[in-house]
């Protein structure tokens, strides 16, 4: 299991209301492995855990994976290694 910290920001010019946020895991081929977050979040700091399993609950193999945080105004992709 790994913990992924992330920050949901708000616009400086708008009321700081909920922001639709997604955080998804992809394999090296760009195929989606799992969606960890897909909901409205208030601006702030968060953490989410990934247990190394896909959407069906099956353990994925060791290798390089990417997680992508996406909001309406922001997208960030980071690389991680899964070792079993």
φ and ψ at 11, to 5 degrees? -75, 145
What pLDDT, on a 0 to 100 scale, did the predictor assign at position 11? 60
| Mean pLDDT by groups of 10 residues along the chain of 84 residues | 88 71 97 98 94 97 97 93 91
* pTM for the whole structure: 0.89
- Beta pairing class for 19-27 and 63-70: antiparallel
């Amino acid at each position: 299991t790994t913990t992924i910290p992330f920050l949901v920001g708000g616009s400086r010019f708008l009321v700081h209301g909920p922001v639709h946020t997604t955080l998804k895991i992809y394999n090296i081929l760009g195929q989606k492995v799992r969606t960890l977050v897909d909901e409205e979040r208030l601006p702030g700091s968060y953490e989410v855990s990934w247990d190394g399993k896909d959407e069906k609950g099956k353990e994925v193999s060791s290798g390089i994976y990417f997680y992508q945080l996406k909001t309406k105004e922001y997208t960030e992709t980071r690389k991680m290694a899964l070792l079993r």
